[in-house]
Amino acid sequence: MSKLKFRSIGCHCNACRRDGPHLSCCAVHNAPAMKPGPCNCRNHKLELRMFDSPHDQFAHRNGQRCWVREKIVKPTADIDEEVLPMYVITFDDNETIHAWPEELHRTLKGRDK
């Protein structure tokens, strides 16, 4: 995994429920000190997918929606070339994991189905 670690902040604000998880520093989270602004973390452009893994490790996540953050196409210190491509995905509760293409299924953008 990349050195960037995502931590669960447990945010259930309207913007995160509607668009998917925003970073804590995003302008949508300015309230109550200031008026919330438009998203400036670019997370609203993430692709929404449905997670369904044939593997046991994250089987408890099957049927949950997730947001594709990054496609990994080059080997890293933690990821060998033979398992590529992989994706960095984040679930609604902000848990972030690596996933293979066969674990991600298309869903309606911005909708829970």
Q: How far apart are CA 60 and CA 78, in angstroms?
A: 24
77 and 99 in one domain? yes
The answer for 72, left when phi > 0, alpha when psi is -120 to 50, beta otherwise, is: beta
Interval 57-65 mean pLDDT: 93
Average pLDDT along the chain:
78
Tens digit of pLDDT for each residue in 66-113?
Answer: 888 888 999 988 889 999 999 989 888 878 899 999 999 986 544 444
64 and 94 in one domain? yes
54 and 16 in one domain? no
Tens digit of pLDDT for each residue in 23-49?
Answer: 777 777 777 778 877 776 765 567 889
Domain that holds residue 73: 47-107
Separation in Å, CA 82 to CA 29, 68, 74, 99, 101 = 40, 21, 10, 14, 14
70 and 58 in one domain? yes
Q: How far is CA 87 from the centre of its chain?
A: 10
100 and 59 in one domain? yes
Does 58 have pLDDT greater than 90?
Answer: yes
